[in-house]
Amino acid sequence: MAGDRLSAGQRAGALLPPGAPLAFHLLAKPTGAICNLDCEYCFFLSKESLYPGSDFRMTDDVLAEYLRQLLAAQPRAPEVTVAWQGGEPTLMGLDFFRRAVALAEQVRRPGQRIVHTIQTNGTLLDDDWAGFFAEHGFLVGLSIDGPRALHDAYRVDKGGKPTFDRVLRGLAALRAHGVDWNALTTVHAASADHGREVYRFLRDDCGARYIQFIPIVERQAGPVPVTGRSVTPHGYGRFLIDVFEDWVRSDVGDVYVQMFDVTLANFYGEPPGLCVHSETCGLALALEHTGDLYSCDHFVDQAHLLGNIRERSIADLVGSPEQVSFGLAKRDTLPDYCRRCDVRFACHGGCPKDRFEVTPDGEAGLHYLCPSYQAFFRHVRPAMTEMCDLLRAGRPPAAIRDSYARSDARRGRNDLCGCGSGRKWKRCHGIETAGG
Ligand code: SF4
Ligand code: SF4
């Protein structure tokens, strides 16, 4: 569906029909897990121990081998994404990316279009970076968690200092140069009850038109399975519903929220474009600075090391039996509770990395956020069904805004808001339409 820009390569599952173009998504980490910040919830920082003594910089040899193979492995894909993330990839310096763009041009096949993407914390961006991104059509994923207090709750530097102002300076440079950008916004303990506030800040103050919400689920040892920074099992759903009720009234068709786009695709019966809510996965891999290829960015560990691209080709590793089983396991290890679930077609059990809960009937392997997924997918079912009907009738889903406006006009100011907050309509999502 439109708007799912960063994860375009993550479409479908591992079950590609014979003869279909092999399309996959690689996230390359040129600095490994190294970052200039120390965000409290970041799971990458512990990964530094995987490469003791390394300088954590991708060499030009690995870079050239990576790009050559990436483009050669997808000869029939009209568009190939070259995606960089970290750690913090901008620590490599601008010249590294200049070389990457030039090399990609050299090895590109006729007719192949290259889309360059980079995910960054934004703190090192300036006019030089932004001008470069604009010149080469980079799509920039910028980590920003909301207004100052919510952003700075956990996104701090190595000295524990807040980063909000530095990120906003980076964003200003991107916007001044007209760079295409996407907000990458985590949902955590501090922000879960502020969905609308976060959304409106991104939309109105930052001018975001593409937004990805990422729930923080941070495991810890001991009787409580997650840290206090993690979003609660119900909190993510509340956050999404809060945002959805705003979005569906005024922004459908103008602002792309990945989770809503993905949900609409699943309701419509199209590949959702996000591995987490696809039936199978295994086509979104992670490349370390050394050329080591791992099954997924969330499984960068010895058990999921497929091999090194200097010894075995990317195409081979992506299609290896280990990787195919990794992708199929997402479907095949679903507990029976999920198999019987009325919203399974939209949820598909979530990402296996967070399936550490037990179902009500005692089976292991339920996703930690199941209560959120159930609440969100059930809540949006009528709206998603209506948008699917509009699509089938050849009309834009944005027409749903008119039907919401009509039903809102009949709503009493003191009626309960339909979002489930328990607040009056005039004090909740009707705050503008009801004039309260
Ligand atoms: S909502 Fe819960 S029960 Fe249903 S598929 Fe998702 S994780 Fe499984
Ligand atoms: S393990 Fe999770 S993040 Fe990785 S590809 Fe599968 S669903 Fe996506």
Average pLDDT of the residues in 129-148: 98
Query: What is the pLDDT at residue 77?
Result: 81
Give, for ligand 1, the residue of 240, 331, 338 to mutate: max count of ligand atoms closer than 8 Å to Cβ: 338
Tell me which ligand sits closest to the C-alpha of residue 361.
1
Q: Note the Cα 409 to chain centre separation in Å.
A: 35
Residues 295-322 have pLDDT tens digits of 999 999 999 999 999 999 999 999 999 9
Query: What pLDDT does residue 400 have?
Result: 97
CA of 283 to the centre of ligand 2 (A): 9
Q: Residue 2: pLDDT above 80?
A: no
If you take atom 2 of ligand 2, which residue's CA is the nearest one? 351
Q: How are strands ordered across the β-sheet holding 79-84?
A: 256-257, 210-215, 180-187, 139-143, 113-120, 79-84, 25-28, 284-287, 292-294, 305-308
Residue nearest to atom 6 of ligand 1 (CA): 349
- Burial (CB < 10 A; 0-12, 13-18, 19+), residue 17, is exposed
Spatial separation of the C-alpha atoms in residues 282 and 275, rounded to whole Å: 8
Provide the pLDDT for residue 76.
Answer: 79
Q: Give the pLDDT score at 13.
A: 29
pLDDT at 7: 33
| pLDDT tens, position by position, 238-252 | 999 999 999 999 999
Taking the CB of residue 311, how many other CB atoms lie within 10 A of it?
10
Residue 128 pLDDT grade (very low, low, confident, very high; cuts 50, 70, 90)? very high
pLDDT greater than 70 at residue 1: no
Give the distance (Å) from ligand 1 centre to CA of residue 416. Answer: 28
Question: In which band, very low, low, confident or very high, does the pLDDT at 46 lie, cut at 50, 70 and 90?
Answer: low
Task: Kindly report which listed range (8-22, 102-116, 291-305) carries the lowest average pLDDT score.
Answer: 8-22
Q: Say if residue 188's pLDDT is above 60.
A: yes
Q: Tokens standing for 425?
A: 């309509």
Instruction: Work out the average pLDDT over 280-288.
Output: 96
Average pLDDT of 147-151? Answer: 97
4, 261, 292, 297: the active-site residue: 297
**Whole-number Å distance between alpha carbons of 122 and 164:** 10
Asked if pLDDT for residue 16 goes beyond 70, the answer is no
What pLDDT does residue 22 have?
Answer: 58
Pairing of strands 210-215, 256-257: parallel
SS3 content of the chain, % helix, strand, coil (to 5): 40, 15, 45
User: Is 389:267 a contact under the CB 8 Å cutoff?
Assistant: no
Lowest mean pLDDT among 279-288, 342-351, 420-429: 420-429
Please tell me the predicted confidence (pLDDT) of residue 56. Answer: 93
- For the CA of 337, the nearest atom of ligand 1: 3
pLDDT of residue 398: 96
Atom number in ligand 1 closest to CA 366: 7
Tracing tokens 């600095």 back to the chain, one arrives at 31
Q: Which of 84, 101, 89 is nearest to 57 (CA)?
A: 89
Residues enclosing ligand 1, CB less than 6 A? 337-338, 341, 343-344, 347, 349-350, 367, 370, 373-374
Which residues does 321 contact at the CB level (< 8 Å), separation at least 6? none
pLDDT score recorded for residue 50: 86
Residues with beta carbon inside 6 Å of ligand 2?
Answer: 275-276, 281, 284, 296, 298, 330, 351-353
Q: What's the gap in Å between 90 CA and the centre of ligand 2? A: 25
- Mean pLDDT value of segment 141-153: 96
Active site residue 354: no
What's residue 285's pLDDT?
A: 96
Quick one: how far is CA 33 from the chain centroid?
A: 18
Of residues 3, 397, 8, 7, the one with CA closest to residue 210: 3
**Sign of dihedral through CA atoms 362, 365, 367, 373?**
negative
Least confident of 48-57, 119-128, 167-176, 392-401: 48-57
Exposure pattern of 333-359 as b/e (b: 16+ CB <10 Å)? ebbebbeebebbebbbbbbbbbbebeb
Flag whether pLDDT at 14 surpasses 90.
no
The pairing of strands 364-366 and 25-28 is: unpaired
